[in-house]
Amino acid sequence: MEEQTRSNFIKDFINIDIKENKNGGKIVTRFPPEPNGYLHIGHAKSIALNFGLAKEFNGVCHLRMDDTNPSKEDVEYIESIQEDIKWLGFDWGTNFFFASDYFETLYGYAIELIKAGKAYVCDLSPEEMRLYRGTLVEAGKESPYRNRTVEENLDLFQKMKNGEFPNGTRVLRAKIDMSSPNLNLRDPIIYRIQHTHHHRTGDSWCIYPMYDFAHPLSDAIEKITHSICTLEFEDHRPLYDWFVNNIETPGDPRQIEFARLNLNYTVMSKRKLLELVQKKYVVGWDDPRMPTISGLRRRGYTPEAIRNFCDAIGVAKSNSTVDVALLEHFVREDLNTKAPRVMAVLNPIKVVIDNYPENQVEYFEGEYHPDFPEIGSREVAFSKEIFIEREDFEENPPKKYFRLAPGQEVRLKYAYYITCTHVVKNDTGEIIEVHCSYDPESKGAKTADGRKVKGTIHWVSASHSKNVEVRLYEHLFTCPNPGEERDYKDDLNPTSLTTISAKIEENLANSTHFQFLRNGYFCIDSKDSTSEKPIFNRVVSLKSSYKPE
RNA sequence: AGGGGCGUCGUCAAGUGGUAAGACACUGGAUUUUGAUUCCAGCAUUCGUAGGUUCGAAUCCUGCCGCCCCUGCCA
């Protein structure tokens, strides 16, 4: 199973840097989430990339909370982020940081820029600043405050820090080039006034650094060597480099951009995910239909499946949308080897075996896994009345229907062969009972004559099964690209969750994940399930090559 | 006076001048007490396009075409 870790353009860059002995050949990456939401599968790609690179090149990967905007951030998110990364199987060791840890240093860096004549306090209002910025095709105009003296800037910046000005009245800007075709270089804001309580620094600051300033410098402080981010920051790289080059810092990080993950039939933006949670379209961040790590975990996805998926999708620079079928493939692949097989009937119809003795109960051994007998087996009770899936009986079967039909013989997994003799219907013509006869010679679901029975179906004994709640999930959205043609919420799938009552065999294996034979992979809901009232989530269905004509 | 990126199979994606990997999906077929799993086979004469350089081009050059990102005191 040893797999060649595949190459990508980032590894190529790193290999060149190592060859040139940049940073003494050391590799330090970082995963820098803003604690303003829960992590999702797209973050998993970045996490796997950053931690994976560190591991492959014998380096380390830091976890850094990018908490420079207290108005949007919350400690709840800080906790969930750590939990999710750990659950995915990655370890930052002792390298857990906060951008807010660097506020004092960052402030000093700003002073350094002011003293060098490379930053100034600007009094333009937000609207004025927008006007002065110019447009995509026209140069901007220089701020009238651009040429204040160093002393005046120092004094004003000090007053900003001291809380002497209200929000929005002044900012600190880098003095770069108002006519740059790259808008990011038109004297970007590096500090804004925001009288907001910060979840870590409390009320000690009322000015907060902007991402473009805080990020490269935080990287430099931590001596990050390779700062990997998504494509939309490509335009910011010259600014990233400007700060690193114009300020005396411990490190010399380099920014590399890659394409973020998109998945079809879902949305990935934090804004949309937040809205789904806040407006109760889903039950929470960990709703099993959400593409969040906590949602996938509750749905029954395993860390291995997610990691294998991240390895498989690759890392490149072209915008792309990965098919969810690939994610589903990796859970099936993982659960196939791990999940004990068990029988549950999701849509029951009663079968009465007329020639089976009343009150008789037999127990058949059912292996938990056909490929790994060592994981054991259990005894499954069999009796005169059983339940099978409604879809496993057809009064007028199509061609190549291998299941139960009038006069047709079928194998009951582990038990006997049965043949349908007749059906009982109610007043409205609905079949309420299927009557069968069984072949006593087929005990153990095989016969000495070697006769072929093409179909094998699963079942539960009516009096030896219990009712459980099962939650069936489908894609959260009905179309591959939600929001492409209208508001994304209008593309929400009304049947993304179906709750049903199912019949399941009595004594379940001691496991969280199961394969319900012929149905799919299921897991116990970690939040709502109790021993009195078990609840199962369908992780993913089994593949099926059955297609009725 | 616009700038920055990206175009290789239905979807991802290797390929770095020597004659198109792999995965998912899909289609056949074998085995099967899960129409699952497993196994085997098929699936880009061509790399957005048009020219050029070369013995040889997905890879180099030029021109077109298409798509994405950038005018928050968000990250």
Q: Within a domain: residue A308?
A: no
Answer whether any strand B atom is within 7 A of the Cβ of A210.
Answer: yes
In this prediction, residue A27 has a pLDDT band, given cuts at 50, 70 and 90, of: very high
A79 and A190 in a single domain? The answer is yes
pLDDT at A2 over 80: no
CATH of the domain at A194: 3.40.50.620
pLDDT at position A440? 97
A70 and A210 in a single domain? The answer is yes
In this prediction, residue A379 has a pLDDT band, given cuts at 50, 70 and 90, of: very high
pLDDT at A450 over 90: no
The count of structural domains within chain A is 2
Active site residue A260: yes
CA atoms of A462 and A466, how far apart (whole Å): 8
Domain boundary pick from A228, A260, A292: A260
Average pLDDT, chain A: 97
Domain boundary pick from A260, A286, A321: A260
What's the whole-number mean pLDDT along residues A7-34?
Answer: 96
pLDDT at position A3? 40
Q: How far is the CA of A245 from the C1' of B62 (A)?
A: 36
pLDDT at position A243? 98
pLDDT at position A547? 86
Catalytic residue among A270, A332, A403, A518: A270
A23 and A156 in a single domain? The answer is yes
A254 and A346 in a single domain? The answer is no
Supply A155's token pair.
């004094």
Residue pair A218/A240 in contact (Cβ under 8 Å)? The answer is no
Expressed as residue numbers, the domain containing A205 is 9-260
Nucleotide nearest to A458 (CA to C1'): B34
Q: Within a domain: residue A374?
A: yes
pLDDT at position A548? 81
Q: Within a domain: residue A295?
A: no
A256 and A382 in a single domain? The answer is no
A53 and A194 in a single domain? The answer is yes
CATH of the domain at A527: 2.40.240.10
Q: Within a domain: residue A156?
A: yes
A89 and A232 in a single domain? The answer is yes
CB-based burial, A154-180: b 16+ in 10 Å, e otherwise: eebbeebbeeebeeeebbbbbbbebeb
Q: Within a domain: residue A387?
A: yes
A203 and A348 in a single domain? The answer is no
Cβ-based contacts (< 7 Å) between A 84-143 and strand B:
124-126, 129-130, 133-139
Q: How far is the CA of A318 from the C1' of B64 (A)?
A: 21
Catalytic residue among A55, A260, A272, A390: A260
What global pTM score does this model have?
0.96
Domain boundary pick from A219, A234, A260: A260
Cβ-based contacts (< 7 Å) between A 526-545 and strand B:
542-545
A348 and A484 in a single domain? The answer is yes
A363 and A239 in a single domain? The answer is no
pLDDT at position A509? 85
Q: Within a domain: residue A62?
A: yes
Protein residue nearest nucleotide B67, by CA to C1' = A319
A345 and A250 in a single domain? The answer is no
pLDDT at position A1? 29
CA atoms of A231 and A224, how far apart (whole Å): 19
A90 and A230 in a single domain? The answer is yes
Q: Within a domain: residue A331?
A: no
The helix (H) or strand (E) run that includes residue A60 is: strand A60-65
Q: Within a domain: residue A287?
A: no
Helices (H), A393-542: none
